Amino acid sequence: MSGHAAELHEASHGGTTKLFLMVWIGLVVITLGEVYIAYLEFPAVTMLLMLIGLSVLKAGLIVAYFMHLRFEKFTLFLTIVPATIFCVGMMTVIFPDSMRLLNIRLH
């Protein structure tokens, strides 16, 4: 298979080697950015929000390109992603209780 034909074949299955390399470089750069941020001594909540935000961005790149979800039918995305985000979001309801416990223990 010629180089161009191989490229077209790869593209038909979602993405080219160049695209995947670009995504990988992006993921490594974001990772190094996270390590840098960790040493800037931000308040804990600010730090958490920045790190989780960057992690969500990395997760999005992995799911969209490495796991090919961007190249699948949109119905698969609609079945998987909103339900997962909803369930993960529901688990955060426990956090007000952790703050209550912290206040009890501090006073």
Partner 1 sequence: MTESHSEAAVTGAWSGGGSPYAIGHKKLGMWLFIMSDVMTFTALLMAYSYSRLANPDWPRHVFPIWPAIAFSTTMTVVLLASSLTMVMAVAAAHRGARGAAVKWLLATMAGGLIFCGLHVTEWFHLIEEGVRLWSNPWGAPLFGATFFGITGLHMTHVLCGVIYLGVIAWGYGTSRFNGEDVEVSGLYWHFVDLVWMFVFPMVYLMSVKY
Contact residues: partner 1, CB under 8 A: 1, 6, 9-10, 13, 15, 17, 20-21, 24, 27-28, 31-32, 34-35, 37-39, 41, 44, 47-48, 51-52, 54-55, 58-59, 62-63, 66-68, 72-73, 75-76, 79-80, 83-84, 87-88, 91-92, 94-95, 97-99, 101-102, 105-106
Which of 84, 85, 80 lies closest to 70, judged by CA? 80
Q: How far is the CB of 38 from partner 1 (least distance, A)?
A: 4
Answer for the pair 65, 23: CB distance below 8 angstroms, yes or no: yes
Provide the token pair at 24. 């990988």
- Closest separation in Å from C-beta 4 to partner 1: 13
Q: How far apart are CA 12 and CA 100, in angstroms?
A: 54
Q: How far is the CB of 81 from partner 1 (least distance, A)?
A: 9
E strands in the chain:
none
Residue whose entry in the numeric block shows the structure tokens 């670009």: 22
